[in-house]
């Protein structure tokens, strides 16, 4: 149970009372596959020199699902953990938002399946395809729903990116991982909660990182599958690195300016866990010290929208009531996002 949570008594989802002042974190949860592939194993598989991956990405191991696991399995585990920490029954959730780029199926959405397995019988449920920024986009939408409806929202970021990467491509298979993180947001009247959100998009860079085939533009055919066009493709890693680092720093500055705050007010910066070098470059541009940065990419890899909620759940013991957390992400699209959250 999070600090002061027991002091908050939400109204039923059907209430027409005055909107809540803020949406606060009531519980967090994480789910990581049991199997992990070390970067040394990946290097041997790809014929890379020892230490090549860690030097370039900081990643030392990546959690990867087993043959029978899917995105919904990880999402259910993370969501159940967040509900348990919040001390909430499933009936208290009014909405489930699932940020994922790897749904169980192209149709139907995966969120209703997750809601059913969690017993969320009163909740709406929908997928959000916002790539690495998807969880922060979902938080921004959940913030409005919590405050307006005075109900609780379960926000989950979950991905099985090992099923979307070419195992023979070192630019992607050495980076991407599987995992899920979840946050329960509920109404609060005090200072705790989401302080500000900033969202941005630059569609001119849509093909920096993408999956060529499988959508309405380029349907799957046996020939396209044989060429690996159903898997992730990174056009120019260096250009993407520069855009992502600059974008994360810019998103952080914009949300602080929007809130009338500065970096001195930030207790912890939680960036999207893309890779160590990108985090360090964004941190340098933003101007925050390393000791106020949450960086656990070495052990969780890059699971896109799942990395920030995973960091919130796995590092929650480091936060104290009143801490201001700066969350930033840039991902395929290009989509950028930042959220200020008071713990």
C-alpha angle 46-47-50 in degrees, rounded to nearest 5: 105
Beta-carbon contacts of 332 under 8 Å, excluding residues fewer than 6 positions away, are 101, 131, 132, 206, 208, 209, 210
Q: Which of 132, 152, 197, 205 is catalytic?
A: 132
Q: Which residues pair with 337 in a beta bridge?
A: 199, 329
Instruction: Report whether pLDDT(287) > 90.
Output: yes
Supply the pTM of this predicted model. 0.91
> N- to C-terminal Cα distance for the chain?
13
Question: What is the rounded average pLDDT of the residues 329-339?
Answer: 93
Task: Give the mean pLDDT of 184-191.
Answer: 92
pLDDT at 333: 84
**Spatial CA neighbour of 141 closest among 114, 117, 111:** 111
What pLDDT does 238 receive?
A: 80
Instruction: Tell me the pLDDT tens digit for each residue of 20-70.
Output: 789 999 999 999 999 999 999 999 999 999 999 999 999 999 999 999 999
In the predicted model, is pLDDT for residue 171 greater than 90?
A: no
- Find the range with the poorest average confidence among 80-84, 232-236, 250-254: 232-236
- Mean pLDDT in residue range 72-76: 98
Give yes or no for a contact between 309 and 136, defined as CB atoms under 8 angstroms apart: no
Q: What is the dihedral of CA 192, 9, 154, 262, to 10 degrees?
A: -10
Mean confidence (pLDDT) of the chain: 91
Question: Which of 152, 159, 230, 272 is flagged as catalytic?
Answer: 272
pLDDT tens, position by position, 114-132: 999 999 998 999 999 999 9
Gyration radius (Cα) of the chain, Å: 19
| Mean pLDDT score, 74-97 | 97
Domains plus CATH for the chain?
Answer: 5-190 (3.40.47.10), 195-342 (3.40.47.10)
Question: What is the pLDDT at residue 9?
Answer: 39
| Residue 314 pLDDT grade (very low, low, confident, very high; cuts 50, 70, 90) | very high
Between residues 75 and 165, the one the model is more confident about: 75
272 is a catalytic site residue = yes
Catalytic entry in 152, 205, 230, 302? 302
In the residue annotation, 302 being an active-site residue is answered as yes
Whether residue 132 lies in the annotated active site: yes
pLDDT at 90: 96
């Amino acid at each position: 149970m999070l600090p002061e949570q027991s002091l908050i008594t939400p109204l039923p989802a059907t209430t027409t009372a005055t909107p809540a002042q803020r949406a606060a974190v009531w519980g967090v949860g994480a789910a990581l596959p049991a199997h992990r592939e070390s970067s040394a194993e990946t290097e041997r598989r790809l014929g890379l020199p020892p230490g090549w991956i860690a030097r370039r990405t900081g990643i030392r191991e990546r959690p990867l699902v087993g043959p029978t696991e899917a995105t919904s399995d990880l999402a259910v585990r993370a969501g159940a953990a967040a509900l348990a920490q919040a001390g909430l029954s499933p009936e208290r959730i009014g909405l489930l938002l699932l940020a994922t780029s790897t749904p169980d199926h192209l149709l139907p959405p995966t969120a209703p399946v997750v809601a059913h397995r969690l017993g969320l019988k009163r909740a709406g449920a929908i997928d959000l395809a916002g790539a690495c920024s998807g969880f922060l986009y979902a938080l921004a939408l959940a913030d409005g729903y919590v405050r307006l409806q005075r109900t609780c929202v379960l926000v989950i970021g979950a991905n099985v990116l090992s099923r979307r990467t070419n195992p023979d491509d070192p630019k992607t298979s050495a980076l991407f991982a599987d995992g899920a993180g979840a946050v329960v947001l509920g109404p609060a009247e005090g200072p705790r909660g989401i302080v500000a959100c900033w969202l941005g998009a630059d569609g001119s860079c849509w093909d920096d990182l993408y999956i060529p085939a499988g959508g309405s533009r380029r349907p799957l055919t046996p020939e396209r599958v044989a060429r690996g066009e159903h898997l992730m493709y990174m056009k120019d890693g260096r250009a993407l690195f520069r855009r992502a680092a600059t974008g994360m720093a810019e998103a952080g500055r914009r949300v602080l300016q929007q809130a009338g705050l500065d970096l001195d007010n930030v207790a912890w910066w939680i960036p999207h866990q893309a890779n160590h070098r990108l985090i360090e470059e964004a941190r340098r541009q933003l101007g925050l010290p390393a000791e106020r940065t949450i960086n656990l990419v070495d052990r969780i890899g890059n699971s896109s929208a799942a990395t920030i909620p995973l960091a919130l759940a796995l590092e929650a013991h480091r936060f104290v009531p009143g801490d201001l957390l700066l969350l930033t992400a840039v991902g395929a699209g290009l989509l950028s996002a930042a959220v200020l959250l008071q713990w």
